[in-house]
Structure 1
Amino acid sequence: MASELCKTISVARLEKHKNLFLNYRNLHHFPLELLKDEGLQYLERLYMKRNSLTTLPENLAQKLPNLVELYLHSNNIVVVPEAIGSLAKLQCLDLSDNTLEIVCPEIGRLRALRHLRLANNQLQFLPPEVGDLKELQTLDISSNRLLTLPERLHLCLSLQYLTVDRNRLWCVPRHLCQLPSLNELSMAGNRLAFLPLDCVGFSGSPSKEERRFCSTNDGGRNGQPHAKDLGRSRELQYVYVDNNVHLKGLPSYLYNKVIGCNGCGAPIQVSEVKLLSFSSGQLTVFLPTEVKSIGTEEDRVLPLQELAMRNLYHTHHRLWKDLNFLSPISLPRSLLELLHCPLGHCHRCSEPMFTIVYPKLFPLRETPMAGLHQGRTTVSFVAYCCSTQCLQTFDLLS
């Protein structure tokens, strides 16, 4: 077997092969022949799936500098060395079905990476440097032990397919609403109690600062950034949240998407985390923990904190637009960050909300996904309004 392996690698070196298949070779160590002398300088695709590798060599990038695709599916790799960040041309990295416990921060140096697959490992967190992968289109981190997702994930502006099935997620960062290219989001089999309220959204090709504060189209009112939640995204078409038994409601603007929510809303006791909730009949909807109070139709005056935050938000964005600089008022950094990404926006008028919402329930709507399920789910759509006036006039069909 060893002689056959050496012969295969030698032929690849002499004939300057771009593809090398070393699948099902029962390899326990990375072949030294691959790292001999100058290595395989012409190699672009290396397939080593279903072996027994436990680690990768530190000089991998030095010996295989032109790698574009690296497939290490189904091995026993626990840690990927920092040196992997030097594979400057790498576009596809598959480390699914290993025993990974740590993804090193150097993963963020793979600026050409388009597809990253880390499914079926033992990851408990992802480094924030994943947000540096500007060309990333596919991220599969299903079947791990993730409790949270890095907030900087929303900086992956090319991300189209995000799969986080079968983890331990309780919530989703609101910043994910800002992913401009996201087409498919799959978060089935987690512990989600709610999906993000709407966030500030962007479209077109704005500058870096414009992308953070305002839209290039006429989605806003009076020059303000337009509200955008997961459902308002033009690119997003598929949302799968099946088998999240804690999930009792969906944001209202998801009603026109392809939705998979079978097995959600089952009656259980939520004892581990106490969540703000409101009830309508037999249905209880859990709201994000950032919500401090729930408004009712009898409320006529908003809390002073809410009024102050809304006014500050509009002042901040108006002055920035008119005077064209980033910080027209002196505010603590934490407060500035809050103004950039409010708790949500009113589904009726797009008014920003910071501490209080007025929820309104709608029955589950038929979607193209409904025909694939045998039974009905108890999940309903939930709209969030900024005032009693919007609450009374909001209609899902409008």
Structure 2
Amino acid sequence: MASELCKTISVARQEKHKNLFLNYKNLHHFPVEMLKDGGLQHLERLYMKRNSLTSLPENLAQKLPNLVELYLHSNSLAVIPEAIGSLAKLQCLDLSDNALKVVCPEIGRLRSLRHLRLANNQLQLLPPEIGDLKELQTLDVSANRLLTLPERLHLCLALQYLTADCNHLCHVPRHLCQLPSLNELSMAGNRLAFLPLDLGRSRELQYVYVDNNRSLKGLPSYLYNKVIGCSGCGAPLHIPEVKLLSFSSGELTVFLPTEVKAIGTASDRVLPLQELAMRRLHHTCHTLLKDLNFLSPISLPKSLLELLHCPLGHCHRCSEPMFTIVYPKLFPLRETPMAGLHQGRTAVSFVAYCCSSQCLQTFHLLS
């Protein structure tokens, strides 16, 4: 096997191959033959799936400088070397089914990367530098141990497919609603209790899968005409959860996201002063929100500045931004176009959020 491997690599070097297939070779170490002399300068695609590799060489980028695709699926890699950030031309990196516990910050230097697959590892967090991957289109981090996703992920403006199934995620970062190219979001099998109010507001987002999040009780009504998956959601409330923020109308009680700081009712006529001030400031500086340099660091608390950048949500009726208060309205799943797809497999309902009691009274899901 060793002589056959050496011959394969030798032929690839002599004939300047662009593709090299080393899958299922029972490799425990990265072949030193690939690193000899000048390495494989012409190689663009390297396939090393289903081996037993435990590490990668530090000089990988130096010896394989023109790599465009690197497939290391199903190995035993525990660490990604910092030097991998020097693979300037890399567009596709597959590290699924390994033993990774940490992703090095240098991955943010892969400015040409379009597809990153890290599924089925042991990751508890992702580095914020992932937000530097401006060309990233696909990110798969399913079957890890993630508790949260990096806030800077919303800077990946080219991101189209985000899969984070089977982790320990309790919420979806609100900033993800701002991703202009996101077409598919899958967060099935997590611990989600609510979804951002604005999720689905973008026309680009067409597929949302949140199956088997047992604490998830409602879907933003922006999703009502999307392709959604939510079977296994909407489990009965546990007793401790009764103290959560809620909105009641007659015998109906809707439990709301913990992000909602105050709850409006149909009898309210005056919004809280903080909400009125936030809306006015938002309108005044709407064209300057991207930098907010006109506000000194002490003009507003950091938490309020963050809200100005990304409001809690927008009114489903008039699109007014909302910061601290919403008026919820429940639409049972059976009354929506998606009802026929679920056939009673879920208790999840759609929840619309309005900025005032007037909008609440006039909003209809199918209007």
Bucket of the pairwise TM-score, normalised by the shorter protein? over 0.9
Question: What TM-score do you get using the length of structure 2 for normalisation?
Answer: 0.93
- The offset of 1:277, in angstroms, is 3.3
Counterpart position of 1:397: 366
Alpha-carbon separation, structure 2, partners of 1:279 and 1:164: 33
CA spacing shift, 1:282–1:144, aligned 2, 3 Å? farther
1:327 aligns with 2:293: yes
> Residues 22-37 of structure 1: matches in 2 within 5 Å?
22-37=22-37
Question: Cα deviation per residue 1:337-375 (whole Å; 9 max; x = unaligned)?
Answer: 32111111111111221111111101115546843x454
Structure 2's unaligned 5+ residue stretches are none
Q: Aligned to 2:308, which of 317, 339, 349?
A: 339
CA spacing shift, 1:89–1:285, aligned 2, 3 Å? farther
1:241 aligns with 2:210: yes
Alpha-carbon separation, structure 2, partners of 1:183 and 1:162: 8
Counterpart position of 1:317: 286
> Residues 256-267 of structure 1: matches in 2 within 5 Å?
256-267=225-236
Identical counterparts, % of pairs: 83
C-alpha contact 1:122 1:144 (8 A) present in aligned 2: yes
- The offset of 1:290, in angstroms, is 2.2
CA spacing shift, 1:100–1:328, aligned 2, 3 Å? same
Q: Cα RMSD (Å) of the superposition?
A: 2.1
- The offset of 1:280, in angstroms, is 5.8
Amino acid at match of 2:92: C
Question: Cα deviation per residue 1:236-278 (whole Å; 9 max; x = unaligned)?
Answer: 1111111110100000110000111111001142759974333
Question: What TM-score do you get using the length of structure 1 for normalisation?
Answer: 0.86
Alpha-carbon separation, structure 2, partners of 1:20 and 1:138: 24
Partner of 2:122: helix, strand, or coil? coil
Q: Aligned to 1:296, which of 259, 265, 269?
A: 265
C-alpha contact 1:258 1:367 (8 A) present in aligned 2: no
1:174 aligns with 2:174: yes
CA spacing shift, 1:274–1:126, aligned 2, 3 Å? farther
Counterpart position of 1:232: 201
Amino acid at match of 1:352: P
Alpha-carbon separation, structure 2, partners of 1:312 and 1:249: 30
Question: Cα deviation per residue 1:193-239 (whole Å; 9 max; x = unaligned)?
Answer: 111122xxxxxxxxxxxxxxxxxxxxxxxxxxxxxxx2221111111
> Residues 155-304 of structure 1: matches in 2 within 5 Å?
155-198=155-198, 230-269=199-238, 275-279=244-248, 285-304=254-273
Question: Cα deviation per residue 1:293-320 (whole Å; 9 max; x = unaligned)?
Answer: 11111111111221222222222226x4
Amino acid at match of 2:306: E
- The offset of 1:287, in angstroms, is 2.5
Alpha-carbon separation, structure 2, partners of 1:99 and 1:285: 42
Alpha-carbon separation, structure 1, partners of 2:44 and 2:262: 56
Amino acid at match of 1:9: I
Partner of 2:30: helix, strand, or coil? coil
Alpha-carbon separation, structure 2, partners of 1:195 and 1:25: 45
Q: Aligned to 2:327, which of 322, 333, 358?
A: 358
Counterpart position of 1:111: 111
C-alpha contact 1:344 1:352 (8 A) present in aligned 2: yes
Amino acid at match of 1:263: G
Structure 1's unaligned 5+ residue stretches are 199-229
Q: How many residues align?
A: 363
C-alpha contact 1:257 1:367 (8 A) present in aligned 2: no
Amino acid at match of 2:362: T
Amino acid at match of 1:152: R
C-alpha contact 1:248 1:284 (8 A) present in aligned 2: no
- The offset of 1:336, in angstroms, is 2.7
